[in-house]
A and B are shown apart, each in its own frame.
Chain A
C-alpha cells in the first residue's frame, strides 16, 4: 500500500479490521486521471478515503469533507462520462484497472489555481491528493443523475422492505412466514444495518441468526430477493424507484429499477445529526457512525489521534474499537452532564480520558492536516472555549433523526417531537408501514418486534403504533442537539452532512443591488431551495422554523432537488381528443341547454373563425345573448361550417348571424340539419 494509506492494521476478529475487503487482493484504478490503490471489496469512496483524499472541494474558500453523504457521482471513462451510466461512489465496488471520471464540475477556485501553476501543480498534487477539487454545488441532481432516470425494469413482490437492518430483516422474515414473495432493498453492500453500532457484542450473533433464518425460509423456494448496493430514490403510488449497482465479476453498472409491492415496509433507519459549530464539515470531522461504518467494513481510519464528542451513547463505543487497534483517543467528551452508559463504563476501563457536559465550539485546520478543536461547556451558549486539543480527526454525533424521506414522498406526515428535537412520523398511508427507528424502536429486540408489527398491520392485524423511541436499559436518553454559536464571517457551520449544504449564517442582505446580484447566497435561504430532514430539524432548533409548522415544512420541502425536465410520457399523449361531432364538455348548457353540433351553410363565403359567436339578430353583440358558436370547418371557401347551437335555436330555426369582430356573416341551417 502507499505511504498515505489510512487503513487500520489487520487484527483477526477485531471489529475494525475491514470485514468487506480482502487484503490479499490489492488493486489499482484511476479517478480523473489520478491513480488510487485499494483492495478487492473496497468501494470507490472507501479506497480514495484510504488513500488520504478526504476533501470534496471548496465552498467560499473553505474545504468541505468528502463523506459517506457527500461524494461525487462517477462514470467509467469508457462510457464517455455519460450521466446515464453514472455510478454511486459509495455503493460501487472497485475493480482492478478501472478508469473513472467524476461527474461533478471542477472547483472554480481549484481551476484558477491549476491554470496559474500549470502542469507542475498537477504533478505535485498527484503525490498527495487531499482534495478531489470538485464543486460540491455542481452535483445536480444530488446525489446523482439517476435521480431522474426512468426505471429499466419492474420487480414485483408481495412485500417490499426498504432497509436491510434488524427491523427490515425482521419484517422480511414475517412476510416469508406468511408465504409472501419478499424483496429487500439495502443501500449497503450487505444487510445488517447499524446493529453493530447501536448494539452490543451479543447483538452480532443475534443478527447472524436473523439473517440465517431468513435465507432458510426464503432461499429454497426463491421467495426472497435481497438487492444490496441499491438505494431507494422515491415512493409514489405504491411504486419504489431505486438505483441499483450491479457488481458481478465484470465492471460495475448502474441502473434504475422499479419495485412494486402489495405491501411496503419502510425501515430506513436514522440519519446522524451534525452538531452545529464553526468548521463542522472540515476534512477530518466525521460523524461517529460514518467513521464506524468505514472502519468496520473497510478498515479505513484517518490518522493516529482522535477526539470524540457525542450526544448519544452509541457513538461512545467507536472509541473502544479504535483504541483497541492502537488509535490514541485524546478525549471522549459527552454533551450530557451525567450520562449513564455501559459503553462509557467500558471506556473508563480502557483508560480513555473522559469528560461530560462539554460540546465542540469550533474547529480549525492546522498544519500537518490536523484539527484544532475547541471545547466549551454545554450549559453555556456563548461558545467560549474551556479546552483546546489538536488531533488528526474529530468524530461527532449530534443524535438521530428518523429517515422519513420516502414516508413523506408516499404522503405520510410528520410532527415535531420537542423532547427528542426530531421530526417523527404521524398519520397513516395505505399499504405502507414504518418499522425500526422510524417507528420508535431503538434496541435490537424492539426493532425485531417493530418489523413483525409492521407486517401484521399490513396484513390486517391490529397492532398499536408506538412512537416513543424507547431507550435501552442502563442507557441515558440522547442529549439535545449540540449547538455552539453562530459562526463569524469567513467561517462555515453546516446544518447537515449531506448535499443540502445549507449553512447557519446571518440572513443575507435582502435589499439593495448587492442582495439582488448575490444569487448563490440568496439560494441558501430556506424559502428558495429544497432542504434535508436534518436541515429542517436544525432550523427548528435554531428558531428559524416554528415547531408547529415543522411537519408541513418537512413534508413539502424535503424533496429531491431534481430539475423539472420533460419525460417521455407526456400528459398530452393521454388526453383524448373530442370527435368533431361530439359536443365538448365546456359547451354543455352554454346556450340554454339541449346543445348539439350542427352543420350550417355559409352562403356568403366570408370567413368565420372557430370560436365566433352566433346571434339571432345582427344587432346583438353581448356574449350572453349568443345562441351558438362556430366549432369547425371555418374556412372561407368551404361553404359549410359546424356549430354548437342551443335547443331553442335549432327548434325555432332561428336566424343565425355569426359575428367575427365587427363583421357579421349570415348562416343558414343545412338541409339535412
Chain B
C-alpha cells in the first residue's frame, strides 16, 4: 500500500498543475486521480491572465500571481503556451452592463487597459468592452507538456473511473484503484466529476448549484475577434492555432449560434466540428471554493474559472501551508460552508449573473 501526502482528484489542466506544483515545488508525495482520456475532450474553459471579476481582491491576487504563473507555464510548455489577446467582452442586460462598468473602474486602478467601445447599429442593445494586455493559455502545448512533467515530478496517476474512496474517522483517506490500495493524508477534489464522485451530497449542495455547460468546436474560421466573452452566459470563444474556435457556454446548445453571431464576426457562420454537453457544479457565489470540508481531510479547490491556471501555483502553496499573507487571506475567506447562498454572488467569473434559459 502506497502512502501519499495528497491525492488530487480532477481531470482538467488545473488539477494537474496543482498536483505537479505540490510535488515539484513543495516536495509532497502526490497521487493524481484523473480520467486518462479527458485530454481528448473538447476544451471546457478558457484560461486568461486577467479574468472577468467584480471582486477587487480577486483581481488584486490574480495580478500578483500571474507573472509567476506565466513564467512557470512557459518553462513547462514553451513560449507558445501563451499568446497575447485582447478579448472582446459583450454584455446585453442592464445588470451586466453595470457590472462591467464597475469592473472598468477597478481596472483603471489596477492599471489594466480596458475600454468601453462605442455602440453601433449592429450591436443592438449590447455594450462592448475591450480588454488589452491579456495572456491566453494555449491548450495544445500545455496538454503535450503535462504528462512528462507529472512523470518527472514523480506523480502517480490512477484512473478516476476505477477509483473508490473511503474517508476514515482519523481523517485519513483510503483509495482503491482497481487492484491497488493507497492511503492519502489529504484528498483534494478539483473538478465537478471528482466532487460528484467523492464529495458528500450535503457539502456539495451547500456551496454549489448544478447546471449544464456546452462545449463546441468549429471548423477553421477567419475572424477579427479571436477571443470573445459574454459573461452573462458563461460564453467564451477563443481561436486555436489551427483556426478552429473553441467555445463554451452555459446555455442550451441551440443558443450558441446567437452568441457566436453577436461577438465573433466572420464572413460565413462557423461550422460545427464537435459538440458536447456536460454537467457543471457552479459555486453559488460565482467565486472560488477552496479549503477543507468540515470534519475531514477532504478539500475542495474549484471555481477559479478563467483564472484557474494562473492561480494554480498559489493554490498549491495554500494547500501546502506555504501561502503568502495575501493568498492566505483570500483563500481562507473562500472556505466551503462559510455561509454562501444563492444571493451572495460577489464575483463575475465562473457563473452566469442571472437566470439562464431553461
User: CA of A645 to CA of B65 in the docked complex: distance in angstroms?
Assistant: 30
| B69 beta carbon closer than 8 Å to chain A | no
User: CA of A629 to CA of B277 in the docked complex: distance in angstroms?
Assistant: 37
- Whether A576 contacts B354 by the Cβ 8 Å rule is yes
- Interface mask (B248-282 → A, CB under 8 Å = 1, otherwise 0): 00011111111111000000111111111100000
| B80 beta carbon closer than 8 Å to chain A | no
- Whether A562 contacts B219 by the Cβ 8 Å rule is no
Indicate which residue in A519, A530, A564, A587 contacts B274 across the interface (CB closer than 8 Å).
A530
Q: Note all chain A residues with C-beta closer than 8 A to B259.
A: 571
| A561 beta carbon closer than 8 Å to chain B | yes
Q: What band does the interface of chain B fall in when counting residues whose beta carbon is under 8 Å from A?
A: 35 or more
| A556 beta carbon closer than 8 Å to chain B | yes
With A549-B37, A561-B272 in contact, is A584–B42 under 8 Å at CB? no
Q: Note all chain A residues with C-beta closer than 8 A to B270.
A: 563-564
| B347 beta carbon closer than 8 Å to chain A | yes
| 5 cross-chain pairs, A with B, having the tightest CB-CB distances, nearest first | A611-B101, A623-B56, A574-B357, A585-B345, A563-B269
Can you list 20 residue pairs at the A/B interface with Cβ under 8 Å? A522-B242, A529-B219, A553-B40, A556-B274, A563-B269, A564-B260, A565-B257, A567-B255, A570-B258, A571-B258, A571-B357, A572-B125, A572-B258, A586-B102, A586-B348, A610-B98, A611-B98, A611-B105, A623-B105, A626-B56
Question: Which of A140, A527, A575, A631 gathers the greatest number of chain B CB atoms within 10 Å?
Answer: A575
Least Cβ–Cβ distance between B283 and chain A, in angstroms: 13
- Whether A586 contacts B353 by the Cβ 8 Å rule is yes
Chain A residue nearest to B268 (CB atoms) is A563
User: CA of A365 to CA of B43 in the docked complex: distance in angstroms?
Assistant: 44
Indicate which residue in A523, A557, A564 contacts B257 across the interface (CB closer than 8 Å).
A564
- Interface mask (B98-110 → A, CB under 8 Å = 1, otherwise 0): 1111111110111
User: CA of A611 to CA of B127 in the docked complex: distance in angstroms?
Assistant: 14
User: CA of A562 to CA of B255 in the docked complex: distance in angstroms?
Assistant: 13
> Which secondary structure characterizes the binding site on chain A?
loop
- Whether B357 contacts A629 by the Cβ 8 Å rule is no
Chain A residue nearest to B108 (CB atoms) is A661
Q: Note all chain B residues with C-beta closer than 8 A to A116.
A: none
Q: Note all chain A residues with C-beta closer than 8 A to B277.
A: 411
- Whether A567 contacts B55 by the Cβ 8 Å rule is no
- Whether A578 contacts B40 by the Cβ 8 Å rule is no
With A527-B244, A584-B98, A611-B104 in contact, is A590–B54 under 8 Å at CB? yes
Chain A residue nearest to B286 (CB atoms) is A586
| A152 beta carbon closer than 8 Å to chain B | no
| B181 beta carbon closer than 8 Å to chain A | no
- Interface mask (A531-560 → B, CB under 8 Å = 1, otherwise 0): 000000000000000001100110111011
Least Cβ–Cβ distance between A649 and chain B, in angstroms: 16
Those of B31-53 within 8 Å (CB) of chain A:
36-37, 40-42
- Whether A589 contacts B344 by the Cβ 8 Å rule is yes
- Whether A563 contacts B271 by the Cβ 8 Å rule is yes
User: CA of A571 to CA of B92 in the docked complex: distance in angstroms?
Assistant: 10
Q: Note all chain A residues with C-beta closer than 8 A to B243.
A: 528
With A555-B276, A562-B271, A585-B343 in contact, is A522–B220 under 8 Å at CB? yes
User: CA of A24 to CA of B4 in the docked complex: distance in angstroms?
Assistant: 82
Number of interface residues of A (CB under 8 A): 61
Indicate which residue in B41, B103, B232, B354 contacts A611 across the interface (CB closer than 8 Å).
B103
Q: Note all chain B residues with C-beta closer than 8 A to A555.
A: 276
Q: Note all chain B residues with C-beta closer than 8 A to A584.
A: 95, 98-99, 353
Q: Note all chain A residues with C-beta closer than 8 A to B104.
A: 611
Chain A residue nearest to B347 (CB atoms) is A586
- Whether A588 contacts B343 by the Cβ 8 Å rule is yes
| B93 beta carbon closer than 8 Å to chain A | yes
User: CA of A584 to CA of B346 in the docked complex: distance in angstroms?
Assistant: 10
Those of A515-531 within 8 Å (CB) of chain B:
519, 522-523, 525, 527-530
| A621 beta carbon closer than 8 Å to chain B | yes
User: CA of A557 to CA of B40 in the docked complex: distance in angstroms?
Assistant: 11
| A566 beta carbon closer than 8 Å to chain B | yes
User: CA of A480 to CA of B104 in the docked complex: distance in angstroms?
Assistant: 62
Q: Note all chain A residues with C-beta closer than 8 A to B355.
A: 574-576
User: CA of A549 to CA of B106 in the docked complex: distance in angstroms?
Assistant: 44
| A2 beta carbon closer than 8 Å to chain B | no
Q: Note all chain B residues with C-beta closer than 8 A to A478.
A: none
| B145 beta carbon closer than 8 Å to chain A | no
With A567-B255, A623-B56 in contact, is A586–B41 under 8 Å at CB? no
| A349 beta carbon closer than 8 Å to chain B | no
- Interface mask (B296-308 → A, CB under 8 Å = 1, otherwise 0): 0000000000000
| A612 beta carbon closer than 8 Å to chain B | yes
Chain A residue nearest to B220 (CB atoms) is A528
With A564-B272, A571-B258, A574-B356 in contact, is A623–B109 under 8 Å at CB? yes
Indicate which residue in B93, B108, B232, B258 contacts A567 across the interface (CB closer than 8 Å).
B258
| A673 beta carbon closer than 8 Å to chain B | no
